[in-house]
Amino acid sequence: MRVGEVALRLPAFILALTLGVPALAQEGQELDESWSDAEGYDCQRLDNQPIPEAAIDWFERSLWANHCYIFQARAVRISSDGVRTLALSHDVQDGVEREVARFLDGPPVVFERRGRIGRAGWSGEGGQVTASPTAIVEHIEKHYRLSLGGEERIAGRRTVRLDIEPLDEMRYGHRMWLDKRSALPLKQVLLNADNRVLETFQLTELDPPSLHQGRVNLDEMRSPPTTPWRPGWLPDGFTVQPVKTTSHIHDVNVGHRLFSDGLSSISLFVEPIDGQHPLLAQGMHRLGISFAAVRHVELAGKPLQVVVMGETPPQVLQRVAEAVEWRPDMATEPAGNVQAPQQ
C-alpha cells in the first residue's frame, strides 16, 4: 500500500473517494420511518419539506440532498499544495448513485464511484440496520456546535452559511455554504484549531440541479470483518463504518477499516511486512493538508506496517497508530467500537 495512492482528498459532501466520510455509506441509528423505509429513501419527500430554520435542520437536509439531486458542476480546490480545478457529476440510475470527479489540470486523474445509501451497522446486530441522517445529526451535536452565518452568493446561487465548530481538540472545524433552494453544499472550508483555513473547496459553476424522481436504494447488509487487530484507542465519537474497504489500489493482504464521527473520518491500514511490499518510513508524512502516521510493529510475532490517515489533527493520527492491538479473541467482532477514555 502506497500512501500517495490514497492521499488525494475531496470533501465528503461531494465525493468520499478516499479519506472522507463515506457519502454512500453514512453512519446512523434506527431508521426514521417518516423519511424513508426498509428499501430506500424517496427523494420526492424533499419537495414537501419546509425551508429549514435551525442550523441542525439545514445540515440534515443537506445530507439527503447529497443523495437525491442530479447535477453537473465545476469546482476549485485550494490548499497548501496548490490549486486544482475539477468537473463533478452526480446521477441516480435504478436507485444507485454514480459520482464522478475529473481533474481538469495537472495529472489527468478521474475518480468514479457507484453506491447506495449506507447502513448504520453490520448484519446480525439486531433491530433495523438502516441509514438515517437524523441519527447522524444527533451524533454530531455531541461533538460539534452548529450555527448559522450570513447569506452569500456562490456559483450564481443564494446560499446560507453553516458554521460547524468542534467541541474538543480531536477534530477540525468546518464552514459550509448551502444552496438555499436545494441545500446542496456549494462551498466548504476546513479550519484548524487556530481558525486558520486549511482547505477551500468551492463550486464555481452549477447547472440547475434536478431532484431524482424516485428512490435511492439502501446498501446491502454487510458482515463484520474477521481480523485479529483493532484500534486500542479512537477519539470519542469515532465509530467503525460498515462499508466495503477492499480496493484495487491496495493489495489483498492490506487490512483497512474506516471510522467516522459523522463528519470527519480516520482510515486505518494494517499490512504484513514480508519483503514483497515497499515500506514507508516510520513517523508522520505530510499529504497536502493531511497527514499519515506510520509505525512498524510486531504483534503476536507478526511484523506489521500500520498507517493511519484522516481529517484530524496529526497528534490524533499518531495516537491511533500507537494504540493498535492484536486481539485474536475478538476477530469475529466489529473492530473499532472503541471509546476514548474520559479526559
Q: Rounded mean pLDDT of 70-80?
A: 95
**137 or 244: whose pLDDT is higher?**
137
CA separation for the pair 324, 269 (Å, rounded): 10
Say if residue 18's pLDDT is above 50.
Answer: no
| Confidence at residue 134, expressed as pLDDT on a 0 to 100 scale | 65
Q: Rounded mean pLDDT of 25-30?
A: 32
Q: Indicate where the chain has its CATH 3.30.200.100 domain(s).
A: 229-330
Say if residue 11's pLDDT is above 90.
Answer: no
CB atoms within 10 A of CB 278: 7
| Confidence at residue 222, expressed as pLDDT on a 0 to 100 scale | 73
Ranges of beta strands (E only) in 116-250 are 144-154, 157-166, 173-179, 185-191, 197-206, 210-211, 215-217, 229-231, 239-240
Q: Rounded mean pLDDT of 22-36?
A: 35
Residue 68: pLDDT band (50, 70, 90) is very high
The amino acid occupying position 157 is R
Q: Indicate where the chain has its CATH 2.50.20.10 domain(s).
A: 3-217
Give me the CATH topology for the region 229-330: Phosphorylase Kinase; domain 1 (3.30.200)
Q: Which three cell numbers stand for residue 327?
A: 486481539
CA-to-CA separations, 308 to 285, 305, 321, in angstroms, rounded: 10, 10, 6
Hey, which CATH number is domain 3-217, 1.10.580.10, 3.40.50.12780, 3.40.50.880, 2.50.20.10?
A: 2.50.20.10
What are the pLDDT digits (tens) for 303-331?
A: 899 999 998 999 999 999 999 988 776 55
What are the pLDDT digits (tens) for 97-131?
A: 999 999 999 888 999 989 887 766 666 555 454 45
217 in Cβ contact with 96 (< 8 Å)? yes
Ranges of beta strands (E only) in 207-318 are 210-211, 215-217, 229-231, 239-240, 255-260, 265-272, 283-287, 290-299, 302-310
As a whole number of Å, the end-to-end CA separation of the chain is 34
